[in-house]
Amino acid sequence: MGVDSNTLATWLADYDPSQITIGVVASHSSLQILHGARLEGFKTLGIAVGENRRRYYKAFPGAEPDEWLMLENYREMLDYAEWFRKRNVVIIPHGSLVEYLGSTNFRSLQVPTFGNRGILHWESSRDRQRQWLEAGGCTMPKVYTDPHDIDGPVIVKYAGAKGGRGYFIARDYRDFRRNADLEDEFTIQEYALGCRYYLHFFFDPTATDGFQVQGRGSHAGQNLGRLELLSMDRRDEANVDEFYKLGSLRDLREKGIEPSFVVTGNQPVVIRESLLPRAFEMAEGTVSASFELEEGAKGMIGPFCLETIVTDQLEFKVFEISARIVAGSNPFIGGSPYSDINEPFMSTGRRIARSIKKSIADGTLLDILS
């Protein structure tokens, strides 16, 4: 269940545009979102469970919410929908919100939300992601449906694995058998060897200038909106990042130690400039394909991240997409080498607030919320 555009229009008709409040769950990229909202002149609301969560924002007065909603658990947000709407709240979703609420609850939350909640259906399954990204012209790591076919290093991903926890690497079928939990649903992916780059794009469907995404299929011949590259990171992952220091995979395995992929932080990076045309080509394809995923699809809106590996042949392999703000944009609260070229101090969080501000002025909020 989602929120249809008539319902959204009814809610927004009761909103006072001069009093819109940016609401965010106090986690993930909330410091950036709150800071950016404040820079753009919005009132802010933090949503938290537990005093400990709230207290540490005292250390960051530049991002401290104007108001708090304290809850016993995040699912209570569903019951507070009218309370949010009375306060003209627009919720900015991030990975933790979707995780805490569950994607079905998030999709049916009766509060205006930045971006397109419908896209979550495509983001939430590996098969659908592949269908979408390949339709957009991205090359993805090969998938093995039969473990007997493993003919090189692979990464095995369990369906419920979060933040890289529970993945493992296998070099051949024997390796796979030794480590696999066959009870759980999993995907076997070619282990793409190269360097990881997480590309943070922003798509503004209301802008008619800049790098315009060309429509395809039912939108052929149309300019769909402006694509921007805001920043790029690489994740720190424990303990695979440091694994090489301890010896070979084989030696460590004998001692019962396996590499793990748990995200602990993020580092800013840039890519070779000559790779940017292909990066834009992939992102453009992904955005234009998002409008063709189903009939009447609202398409991508706002921030999204292509998670890629660049091989020594200088080819991108895209292993995942996040269709919302990613925590990898947190190193760029003060701007990035890419966004600084256009406007200093433009974080993804601030870019979201800027988009809402412009849409309030132009009367186009329905185009960027869901």
Q: Give residues in contact with ligand AMP (CB under 6 A).
A: 141, 155, 164, 167, 189-192, 196, 235, 237, 261, 307, 309, 319-320
Closest distance of CB 264 from ligand AMP, Å: 12
Q: Is the Cβ of residue 235 or residue 351 nearer to ligand AMP in the bound state?
A: 235
Q: How far apart, in whole angstroms, are the C-alpha atoms of residue 253 and residue 248?
A: 9
Q: How far is the CB of 245 from ligand AMP (least distance, A)?
A: 17
Shortest distance in whole angstroms from residue 109 CB to ligand AMP = 25
Report in angstroms how near the CB of residue 238 gets to ligand AMP at its nearest: 11
Of 44, 27, 26, 48, whose CA–CA distance to 35 is shortest?
44
11 or 319: CB nearest ligand AMP: 319
Q: Which is nearer to ligand AMP, 227 or 326 (CB)?
A: 326
Judged on CB neighbours under 10 Å (0-12, 13-18, 19+), 54 is middle
CB-nearer residue toward ligand AMP: 64 or 190: 190
- Rounded to whole angstroms, the Cα distance separating 143 from 137 reads 17
Whichever of 22 and 150 has its CB closer to ligand AMP, that residue is: 150
Tell me whether residue 43 or residue 142 sits nearer to ligand AMP (CB atom): 142
Alpha-carbon dihedral of residues 113, 64, 229, 309, nearest 10 degrees? -90
Question: Least distance (Å) from ligand AMP to the CB of residue 353?
Answer: 27
Residue 95 CB, nearest distance to ligand AMP (Å)? 11
Instruction: Please give the distance of CA 276 from its chain centroid, rounded to a whole number.
Output: 20
In this complex, which beta carbon is closest to ligand AMP, that of residue 141 or of residue 268? 141
Minimal distance in Å, beta carbon 270 to ligand AMP? 18
